[in-house]
Amino acid sequence: MPSEVTEEFIIIVAVVLIGLVLFGFTMMYFVPHEIFSLAQQQASSISSSTTISVGPLISNSVNASTVIEVYNPALSGNVTLIVFPEPSYLQQDVGLVTPQSLPQSSIYLSNFSVYLSNGKLAKSLSINVPIYDVSGKIVYGSQITAYTVPFNTPVTVIVNGVNGNNYILIVWVLYNSNGYWFRIGYTFTGAPST
């Protein structure tokens, strides 16, 4: 009789342990995957209803500036901006270019400022996790400085050390959903044609 109880107890313990292992595997794999999928769907939905307006690139010998507005009438929260210069010949590749695509762009990564409509500097933050596009592909994986700005409000971006005649400014609009960063839109601006 005691050996039968011991065998049954061992079987119960084994079944419980197998159940805990399966539960742990589920929590480690399926739950994060589902959270990412929901975040991606939310970012995609916001992306499809958001427009980016950007003014011409105005420059002097010291810096360049432009005005940007991220417009989505259904939202009143914040988005995040990354702005980086690239040589103007990359205009046709603006969707593929990243802040460190070329060596000359790496010197400008944190060399921009964003000012709110009241003249105050927008809140900056450092992003050190991957940035995805709305299809779930990683578009950037290094640390980068960005600025938080409100939807539906024009902001002024100033980039130091850029000659507007030779460069375009690429603008990325990021949205944080469930802890994941998504590029929900991008555009560019250059010097106005004469």
Question: Where are the alpha helices (H) located in 49-161, listed in sequence order?
Answer: 103-106
49-98 confidence digits (pLDDT tens): 999 999 998 888 778 899 999 999 998 899 999 998 888 888 888 888 88
How far is it between the farthest Cα atoms of the chain? 98
CB 152: neighbour CB atoms within 10 A? 12
For β-strands 180-189 and 131-133, DSSP reports them as: parallel
Question: Where are the alpha helices (H) located in the chain, listed in sequence order?
Answer: 2-48, 103-106
Rounded CA separation 182/27 (Å): 24
94-153 confidence digits (pLDDT tens): 888 888 644 444 444 448 899 999 999 999 999 999 999 999 999 999 889 999 999 999
Rounded CA separation 41/18 (Å): 34
Segment 170-183 shows an average pLDDT of 95
**The pLDDT value given to residue 153:** 95
**The pLDDT value given to residue 2:** 66
1-21 confidence digits (pLDDT tens): 567 767 887 888 888 888 888
pTM of the model: 0.80
Segment 171-185 shows an average pLDDT of 95
CA angle centred on 39, ends 37 and 40, rounded to 5°: 65
Cα–Cα distances (Å) from 121 to 77, 78, 139, 156, 171, in that order, read 18, 15, 27, 9, 18
Rounded CA separation 157/83 (Å): 8
